[in-house]
Structure 1
């Protein structure tokens, strides 16, 4: 090998330096592309349903109870109810506040519901803040044989208000009647208390009527 041939070859250090430089460029390009992909994905929106009004458990979800919105959900898109996921006859399984995105698991078939609706007269008025979607307790004071009433006790600890009718002329004034969603397991005892003439009182749970 002649001296001229040896001097014509690039030094190995220079080749290594070029390789590292190219690798650095590739890493920077990959990083920029990854950031661009994340930003582009975050800007993409998908249609979903939001509650047009407060929806309570057990309520049949009609088309006008929902409004379609375009939101950037990313990988969470499957968590929420989207067009094509709603069908006639579906009911709410929990309270969905007005404007809230509707979770896919917050609606289902009526035959799977474990709650039902009853109307309970309250011997005392309820705060004005108690409205559709509020969580309340139902208390009952069973009648005694001597004409009095026993001490009140909690009959239903967790009921959801569907509607409230306030009427000062009811039961001497300051009373109300409430349509409530209660667990099916507590329907029998509630109806029995109503049939026996128990004094019923509906009160907000702690913080529920403030």
Structure 2
């Protein structure tokens, strides 16, 4: 019986650099690395902006102590907010409400000459103070006194004196009493300058003042 032919083993050869498949694979690997690096770099393309540390109200002098730096990715919208890189310009004032933690819009800050409100302190029922927070917006109702009447008819009826003004100051609790205790409490609001004289005159004549929170404003639902 004759011996069967034995096939010779083929030795594997190391692929040459000129192998087209190797070059294509290398190009794909390098391309994927480049794309991945670009995506990661774009995801971290953030800008330092200012956000409100606490609620900001119109007329309030603004300093860097009132702000906190946050790194955000805004793209083309970055110009609408105040960047933290160059710091805050001096003599800046708040022109409109900015909620705590909200990025500070550039249009919400301006110079002293742009401020159209002033702080006005009103004495209101303590029960209504508990529903407020600094930054809340309230409607101010004034109920003028009727000198010709007494008792329950001693007032002519409430009138809307200020609409949607910001609360800028609240009484601090003292002696363990909460804001819901009896009596009146002083509340500071930022009122339009042209309305302050009239409201002070009515209060001095014995008018009662009531603050009604605007639904959806800061602290209105507390």
Q: Summarize the alignment of residues 10-29 of structure 1 with structure 2, pairs less than 5 Å apart.
A: none
Counterpart of 1:113 in structure 2 is 115
Query: What residue is the counterpart of 1:179 in the other structure?
Result: 188
Query: In the alignment, which residue of structure 2 is the partner of 1:55?
Result: 56
Post-superposition, which runs of at least 4 consecutive aligned residues in structure 1 deviate over 3 A?
33-42, 166-170
Maintained 8 Å contact 1:47/1:69: yes
Partner SS for 2:62: coil
* CA–CA separation in structure 2 for the residues paired with 1:207 and 1:100: 16
CA distance in 2, matches of 1:67, 1:169: 30
Q: Secondary structure at the match of 2:170?
A: strand
Number of the residue aligned with 1:87: 89
The counterpart of 1:152, out of the listed 154, 158, 166, is 158
Taking the aligned partners of 1:78 and 1:112, their CA distance within structure 2 comes to: 20
How do 1:59-138 residues align onto structure 2 when only pairs under 5 Å count? 59-83=60-84, 84=86, 86-123=88-125, 125-126=127-128, 128-138=130-140
Q: Which has the larger radius of gyration?
A: 2
Preserved CA contact (<8 Å) 1:166 1:177: no
Aligned counterparts of 1:89 and 1:145: Cα–Cα separation in 2: 46
After superposition, the C-alpha distances for 1:52-104 in whole angstroms (9 at most, x for unaligned) are 11111111111210112221111111111013362222111111111111111
| Corresponding residue for residue 19 of structure 2 | none
Q: CA RMSD in A?
A: 2.8
User: 2:107 aligns to what SS in structure 1?
Assistant: helix
How far apart in 2 are the matches of 1:38 and 1:108?
Answer: 38
Identify unmatched segments of 5+ residues in structure 1.
Answer: 1-32
CA distance 1:154–1:71, shift in 2 (3 Å):
same
Unpaired runs of 5+ residues, structure 2, are: 1-33
Report the Cα offset of residue 207 of structure 1.
4.5
Do 1:56 and 1:160's aligned partners in 2 also have CA atoms closer than 8 Å?
yes
In structure 1, distance between residues paired with 2:206 and 2:39:
64
Aligned to 2:143: 141
Pairs aligned (count)? 177
Residue 169 of structure 2 corresponds to 163
| More helix per residue | 1
Answer whether contact 1:135 1:204 (CA < 8 A) is retained: yes
State the alpha-carbon separation in 2 of the partners of residues 120 and 42 from structure 1: 50
Q: CA deviation at 1:48?
A: 1.0
